């Protein structure tokens, strides 16, 4: 039988704040000595009182707005009770009944189409400690991470294939960064996934869901996510084909291969004995609070802006993802007085030649000496035929390293394009005379002519106008 996957995501996003969610301990734990950032509040000692972090709260509201959520007018914190060594208090302060945001969506762009992934809820909570499982079966616990502010985002089961999940994860990360909510670096555990996956017969009506849900926790990278999806889809379809019943359950990862193992039958919210956090009063969110939050240009808006400027989809995606490049490009666009040809060429050079130079010189765009103004000068020199394409690339590399004005480089090094037909004719004659075998090939092999043009370029050190050279060569050969 054929099956379709039904996929939903829960995402935990670490909020970028100086201190933890409910105390003044530093939230920095990456690369720190263990158990140095702890206090009676985040350690859950009797009598300690939590105080919500305003910065984290505001960022959660901002994120909810960026995800098009309805923002609660009143929200509160609840205790989620469960017993685990990485949870010093025996409960996690989270939000149950009144999350900050509900019913939002994220638009993802599929090939020639777009899709809305609906967000069920967004709430604020605190992170757990970090467990280190040793080979001798002992476990060490580092409480530095315990209490760090977390945003949890839950989607509806709207994903139908892996590609959609990946696009969503990328877009969510961009939204978190654009709005300064989180750096969302997965390698640092700042963005983590829980996957809900079940499968349904392909002919089950749209909108209808299977009667079970398998949850896989703590997925820290897109590649593992991809493997888990493949593994679970295969495992579940095989069980269903054998007419076995699948119950709702939580599964854990076995290494990084995507293989999952049964952990426990799924808890329902009842199992957590949620109750209102008695030490934190409910928080009102006023209209004026919302009005004071101004969202910057969002990734989707930026992409649309680039498409409207005439850029290719892939170019737009690169400039949206790598904001350093995007910001540089925006400065370039400002200098072009909206000339679409220049804008398109600028994008091509930035993503092509300049990116290649960054790689070659092992540096970043921001550390190179090329400015948007310099690229514009090079393109203008190229358009006015003062320099050839190959010289332009040559000049680009010189500017990249020295930061000199392209006009001066061309003047100082005598690189102006050779447009004089008489001078090119002399050189073309020489090339034809020296390559008689290739000349015989020109009629049937177009590459032969290109080779001859290349020879003219070589003899003129790249300065000849290649179009003129080609015309002249063709003329000489036709006469022969």
Residues of this chain that bind Zn ion (CB under 5 A): 23, 25, 39, 41-42
Q: Which does 152 bind (CB under 5 to 8 A by kind): Zn ion, Mn ion, none?
A: Mn ion
Distance of CA 387 to the CA centre of its chain: 37
Q: Which is nearer to Mn ion, 152 or 232 (by Cβ)?
A: 152
Give min distance, CB of 94 to Mn ion, in A. Answer: 6
Q: Which does 42 bind (CB under 5 to 8 A by kind): Mn ion, Zn ion, none?
A: Zn ion
Q: Which is nearer to Zn ion, 88 or 299 (by Cβ)?
A: 88
The interface mask with Mn ion, positions 124-153, x = CB under 5 A, is: ----------------------------x-
Give min distance, CB of 293 to Mn ion, in A. Answer: 24
Contact between 78 and 274 under an 8 Å Cβ cutoff? The reply is yes
Q: Which does 4 bind (CB under 5 to 8 A by kind): Mn ion, Zn ion, none?
A: none
Q: Which is nearer to Mn ion, 75 or 417 (by Cβ)?
A: 75
Q: Which is nearer to Mn ion, 149 or 391 (by Cβ)?
A: 149
- Give 301-331 as a 3 state SS string: HHHHHHHHCCCCHHHHHHHHHCHHHHHHHHH
Give min distance, CB of 150 to Mn ion, in A. Answer: 7
Q: Which does 25 bind (CB under 5 to 8 A by kind): Zn ion, Mn ion, none?
A: Zn ion
Give min distance, CB of 15 to Mn ion, in A. Answer: 13
Q: Which does 23 bind (CB under 5 to 8 A by kind): Zn ion, Mn ion, none?
A: Zn ion
Contact between 260 and 231 under an 8 Å Cβ cutoff? The reply is yes
Q: Which does 399 bind (CB under 5 to 8 A by kind): Mn ion, Zn ion, none?
A: none
Q: Which does 39 bind (CB under 5 to 8 A by kind): Mn ion, Zn ion, none?
A: Zn ion
Give min distance, CB of 323 to Mn ion, in A. Answer: 28
Q: Which is nearer to Zn ion, 42 or 228 (by Cβ)?
A: 42
User: Which two three-digit tokens encode residue 143?
Assistant: 């409480």
Q: Which is nearer to Zn ion, 14 or 260 (by Cβ)?
A: 14
Q: Which is nearer to Zn ion, 29 or 159 (by Cβ)?
A: 29
Contact between 406 and 377 under an 8 Å Cβ cutoff? The reply is yes
Give min distance, CB of 86 to Mn ion, in A. Answer: 13
Q: Which does 126 bind (CB under 5 to 8 A by kind): Zn ion, Mn ion, none?
A: none
Distance CA 351, CA 365 (A): 11
Tell me the angle at which helices 162-178 and 222-241 cross, rounded to the nearest 10 degrees: 150
Q: Which is nearer to Mn ion, 78 or 353 (by Cβ)?
A: 78
Distance CA 396, CA 413 (A): 14
Distance CA 165, CA 99 (A): 24
Count CB neighbours of 339 within 10 A: 14
Contact between 132 and 167 under an 8 Å Cβ cutoff? The reply is no
Give min distance, CB of 389 to Mn ion, in A. Answer: 55
Distance CA 251, CA 405 (A): 60
Give min distance, CB of 267 to Mn ion, in A. Answer: 12
Give min distance, CB of 57 to Zn ion, in A. Answer: 17
- In this structure, the dihedral spanned by the alpha carbons of residues 195, 198, 202 and 207, taken in order and rounded to 10 degrees, is -80
The count of chain residues that interact with Mn ion, using the rule CB under 5 A, is: 1
Q: Which does 246 bind (CB under 5 to 8 A by kind): Mn ion, Zn ion, none?
A: none
Residue 78 interacts with Mn ion (CB under 5 A): yes or no: no
Distance CA 15, CA 126 (A): 10
Q: Which is nearer to Zn ion, 277 or 353 (by Cβ)?
A: 277
Footprint on this chain of Mn ion (rule: CB under 5 A) = 152
């Amino acid at each position: 039988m054929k099956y379709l996957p039904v996929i939903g995501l829960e995402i935990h996003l670490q909020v970028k704040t100086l201190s933890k969610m409910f105390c003044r301990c530093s939230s920095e734990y990456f690369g720190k000595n263990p158990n140095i950032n702890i206090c009676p509040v985040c350690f859950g000692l009797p009598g300690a009182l939590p105080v919500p972090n305003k910065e984290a709260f505001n960022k959660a509201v901002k994120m909810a707005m960026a995800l098009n959520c309805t923002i609660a007018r009143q929200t509160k914190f609840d205790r989620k009770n469960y017993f685990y060594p990485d949870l010093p208090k025996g409960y996690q302060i989270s939000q149950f009944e009144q999350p900050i945001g509900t019913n939002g969506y994220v638009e993802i762009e599929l090939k020639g189409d777009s899709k809305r992934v609906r967000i069920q809820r967004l709430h604020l909570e605190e992170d757990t400690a970090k467990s280190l499982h040793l080979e001798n079966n002992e476990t060490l616990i580092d409480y530095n991470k315990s209490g760090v502010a977390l945003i949890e985002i839950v989607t509806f089961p709207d994903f139908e294939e892996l590609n959609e999940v990946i696009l969503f994860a990328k877009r969510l990360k961009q939204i978190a960064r654009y709005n300064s909510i989180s750096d969302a670096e997965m390698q640092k555990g700042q963005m983590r996934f829980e996957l809900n996956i079940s499968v349904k017969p392909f002919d089950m009506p749209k909108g209808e869901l299977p009667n079970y849900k398998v949850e896989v926790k703590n997925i820290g990278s897109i590649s593992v996510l991809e493997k888990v999806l493949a593994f679970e889809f295969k495992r579940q379809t095989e069980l269903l084909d054998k007419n076995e019943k699948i119950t709702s359950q939580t599964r854990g990862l076995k290494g990084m291969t995507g293989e999952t193992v049964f952990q426990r039958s799924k808890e329902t919210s009842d199992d957590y004995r949620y109750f209102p956090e008695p030490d934190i009063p409910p928080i009102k969110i006023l209209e004026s609070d919302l009005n004071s939050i101004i969202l910057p240009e969002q990734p989707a808006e930026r992409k649309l802006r680039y498409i409207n400027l005439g850029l290719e989809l892939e170019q737009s995606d690169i400039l949206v993802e790598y904001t350093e490049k995007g910001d540089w490009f925006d400065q370039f666009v400002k200098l072009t007085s909206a000339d679409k040809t220049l804008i398109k060429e600028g994008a091509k050079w930035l993503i092509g030649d300049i990116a290649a130079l960054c790689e070659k010189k092992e540096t970043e765009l921001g550390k190179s000496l090329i400015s948007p103004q310099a690229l514009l000068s090079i393109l203008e020199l190229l358009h006015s035929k003062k320099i050839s394409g190959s010289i332009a690339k040559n000049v680009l590399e010189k500017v990249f390293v020295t930061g000199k004005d392209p006009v001066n480089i061309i003047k100082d090094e005598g690189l102006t394009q050779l447009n004089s037909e008489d001078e090119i004719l002399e050189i073309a004659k020489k090339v034809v005379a020296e390559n008689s075998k290739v000349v015989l090939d020109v009629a049937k092999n177009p590459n032969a002519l290109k080779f001859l043009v290349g020879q003219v370029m070589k003899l003129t050190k790249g300065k000849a106008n290649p179009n003129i050279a080609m015309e002249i060569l063709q003329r000489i050969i036709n006469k022969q």
